[in-house]
Amino acid sequence: MKRNKYLCLLLLVASGVALVGCEDSEVASSGSTATSSSLSQSSETESSSETSESESTSSQTVSSSVSSESSQSSESESLSSDSVSSSSSSSSESSESSSSSSSSIDLTREITVSSPSGVEVDVVSRALPGDVVRVVLTYETTELRITAVTANEVECGMDGLNTYYFLMPESDVNLVVTAEAIDNSETYSISNPVQGIELIGVKDSYHVGEKVSFTIGVLPGYTFNGGLKVVEDKLEDPREVELTNTVDAAGQVTYEFLMPEYDVKVEALTSLGLYKVDWDSDYISYVYRIAPGETSGVSITDGYAFYQYTIEVRLRNDDYAKPTGVKIVETGQTFMLEEGETSVRFSMPHRNITLEAITTPYLRTVEVTNTDNLTVETYAKNEDGTFVEQSEFVYEEKVYVEVSGVTEDVGISSLIYSYTDSYTHKYDLLDREMEEGYYVFEMPKADVVSLVVTEKDMSKFREYDFVGDFLGLELWNGNTETEFASNYCFTIDSSGYFKFRGDDLQIDSVENGVATLTDGSIFAYSDKVYLSTYNLSKTTVAGTDNAIAVKKQAGDDDSLYSVEATHFDSKSYMAAQFYRDGVPYAGAFINCDTGEYYLDVTFELNEGTTSILDEEEGDGYKVVVEGETVCSVGVIDGEQVVLDNVLGTYTSTDGGTLILDGIGGATLNGETGLTYAVNEDGTITVKKGAETWTITLDGTSFTITDHVEAANELAGYTYSGTFYSTWDEWNYNFSVEFVDDTKCYVLISMGTMEYVGGDAARDDLENQTYTIDRTTDPTKLLITVNTFSFGSNITIDFEISVDDLTEMTCTSNVSNVYTTSGAVLTREE
């Protein structure tokens, strides 16, 4: 800045005008000084003999160096303000000093002053050309206002309040000061709209021309960046007020100006302080800084925020506690959460801060539902081992549950605690071991846990046989079992409650040895045996997949009991023998096809048979219920089968023999391959194809009461086989059933798909006939079958050797698709 000032001075010297508007406060004066009152007398005192030594020296120095007009000018321009004496003397002394030396020349120029009354002007009376001349005005600033200070009609520069300067020209100078009176009836104020600073030393109001002096105080959290100025307090085109400042030895800056005739305000550059924001808490999820005037902010990822920014702290729970507010560690300030809110806000202080979440235990509630007779209470266990009743617990804290009101007739049916997170959980505390006389569970991660007790009437079924402990198993899919299964072991109490395969079940009613549960499902029971389908059917006691269990005697250990159970005869029958201490104890027998069952049966083993599981030829047993044989079980081809009650060999009065194998096979008078069936009236029907015999039995004898001859050799027989289709390269099933002497049924199928025949053909036997040609070839039976396929009538030809009626060969194709010619069908026995 000073460099620019001196450049300006040089330019003004070259142009011969006074320097105006320089702001440097260090301006040197040259020559003698004079007030406005003494300056008019300068001509009368020129011959005074008083000469300043410094001025004389200065004159001699100047005169000795002058060689011409130009050199004088050059010399005077090169003089600095430091070479001019600051002591005061009259102009006459300066002249006398110059004339006293025959070799010196007076180069100074005269300065005259013109000023209004009341203004005292302090300025030298003479100065060398090129000197910077200081002008100091003294006046009552509250009464007068300086309107202009000019040197030879050129405006002087201002160097602080009431201090001006100009550059001495080559000529004499007429310094003119003009002023005007001030109306002091009004006062004006100075305002400070700048954030972050305060004005120290200002009053509420000032008169016009009154000096305003103040210093700047920087408020906490702000930085003062300079740029201070005083302007008119209005929005459009405000006028700027001349402002000066001084700096003391301590560096304190004092600002001064004269109050104009209008209100003023301060303008300056400030900035907010930047401070560190730190936190280390699992309960604080995010921290945001929000600028003044904004409603949303940005996440603090750099760890800093400006003073007076709004800080928003978002909080979150963990499993064990939840936040209630935030604390600034350094100041102790707390900001608490409003109800329903998850974040707090506060203004950033002017300091680095550390945030800490204020938390409270995350208490979760146990809501209890009691019955008329049973009351549930929940407890927590203290560190000293004592128990205190409470209903709120933290996650993973043990909840101790006590149920009061249990009597001989009132029991606990269930004690269920349940809760919901992503799905619903439900647990029965009765399934768990007790601790110190309490039912116990750990508080789950749920706000509310429901604890519901249900009671049961322990007197309702107290006298029924099914009350007790059972050991059971599942029997299905042709398997054999010799071990009990834990999920089929259960206890039915006197209220009718039991847990079966994980489900809580309750008996509702009992009738004729069958118990009906509250959900409608049923089971059968005796004094020793339980039977139901594995999933407790609502329509049948027994099926092809059953649960069978034996009731233990009171006080018995499980190890006393064992079991042998089997599902046999093409999965049509089940037998279970239960042992107690190695001795047969109870048995059950089920016809899976009909659902018929017998409980508490006795298995009478054949001689040589040691178990109902034996499968050697000759092994077997009888199923006896209350002294009556229900059926017999034998072993045929290494497999157990149920034998009917007519098994045996019989004779007739005419010497005939009838052998019944117990499973539907008969031999009559030496002819084998016959079948039989036991009719409801106790008679036996023996069949050979379409030929039938009706027989009655009496002890070990038999009598034929009716005999119906077959119409032909084929009637009553079915021939079946397969063929390979060359058209689509598939294997097909092929069968012909000769229903009677003229009707037949043809079926061509693959898997479950029926292509020739099917349900429509079965319903229309009248249009499916066959004929036998015995004459064309006496060694064969030539058969022509008339049937239909997809609505079209077709014929199929077959042949059978008269010497072997067990195989029939197809001699024609049904179509180009069904290439049946050559297919061999075998008679089914």
Q: pLDDT by residue (tens digit) across 430-449?
A: 989 999 999 999 999 999 99
Return the exposure string of 202-226: e unless at least 16 CB atoms fall within 10 Å of the residue's CB, then b. Answer: beeebbbbbebebebeeeebbebee
Work out the mean pLDDT of the chain and round it to a whole number: 86
The answer to whether 272 and 197 are in contact (CB under 8 A) is no
Secondary structure class of 81 (helix, strand, coil): helix
CA-derived radius of gyration, the chain: 65
pLDDT tens per residue, range 248-296: 999 999 999 999 999 999 999 998 889 999 999 999 999 999 999 998 8
125-182 confidence digits (pLDDT tens) = 999 999 999 999 999 888 888 999 999 999 999 887 889 999 999 999 999 999 988 8
Structural domain 187-271, CATH architecture = Sandwich (2.60)
pLDDT tens sequence across 655-690: 899 999 888 899 999 989 899 999 989 899 999 888
Q: Does residue 244 register a pLDDT over 70?
A: yes
Percent of the chain with pLDDT over 90: 69
Q: Which residue(s) pair with 516 in the sheet?
A: 509, 522
Residue 638 has pLDDT above 50, yes or no: yes
pLDDT band at 605 (very low <50, low <70, confident <90, very high): very high
What is the structure's pLDDT at 641?
Answer: 93
Pairing of strands 804-810, 701-708: unpaired
Handedness of CA 203, 204, 207, 209 (dihedral sign): positive
Residue 249: predicted pLDDT: 93
Does residue 665 contact residue 676 with C-beta atoms inside 8 Å?
yes
Mean pLDDT, residues 213-241: 93
Separation of alpha carbons 576 and 120, rounded Å: 139
More confident residue, 501 or 726: 501
pTM of the entire predicted model: 0.50
Among residues 486, 667, 481, the alpha carbon closest in space to that of 562 is found at: 481
Q: Which amino acid is at 294?
A: E
Distances (CA, A) of 785 to 9, 25, 257, 736: 141, 140, 135, 9
Dihedral angle computed from the Cα positions of residues 612, 616, 617 and 620, in that order, rounded to the nearest 10 degrees: -10
Q: What is the pLDDT of residue 254?
A: 96
Residue 90 has pLDDT above 70, yes or no: no
Q: What is the pLDDT of residue 714?
A: 92
The values of phi and psi at residue 483, to 5°, are: -130, 150
For 486-500, give the DSSP string. Answer: GGG-EEE-TTSEEEE
Q: Which of 49-53, 446-450, 625-629 has the lowest mean pLDDT?
A: 49-53
385: exposed, middle or buried (C-beta count within 10 Å: 0-12, 13-18, 19+)?
A: exposed
pLDDT at 502: 87
Calpha distance 698→276 (Å, rounded): 113
pLDDT one-digit tens code per residue, 745-772: 898 888 878 877 766 556 666 778 999 9
* pLDDT of the residue at 761: 58
Instruction: State residue 346's pLDDT score.
Output: 96
Distance CA 204, CA 207 (A): 11
**Does the pLDDT value for residue 68 go beyond 70?**
no
Which of residues 7 and 186 earns the better pLDDT score? Answer: 186
Q: Where are the domains positioned within the chain?
A: 2-181, 187-271, 273-361, 364-457, 468-642, 644-708, 718-827
- Which residues, 6+ apart, have CB-to-CB distance to 373 below 8 Å? 405, 407, 410, 455
The dihedral built from the CA positions of residue 88, 94, 97 and 101, taken in this order, carries a sign that is positive
Distance from chain centroid for Cα 633: 64
- pLDDT tens-digit profile of 418-429? 999 989 999 999
Number of other CB atoms surrounding residue 747 within 10 Å: 19
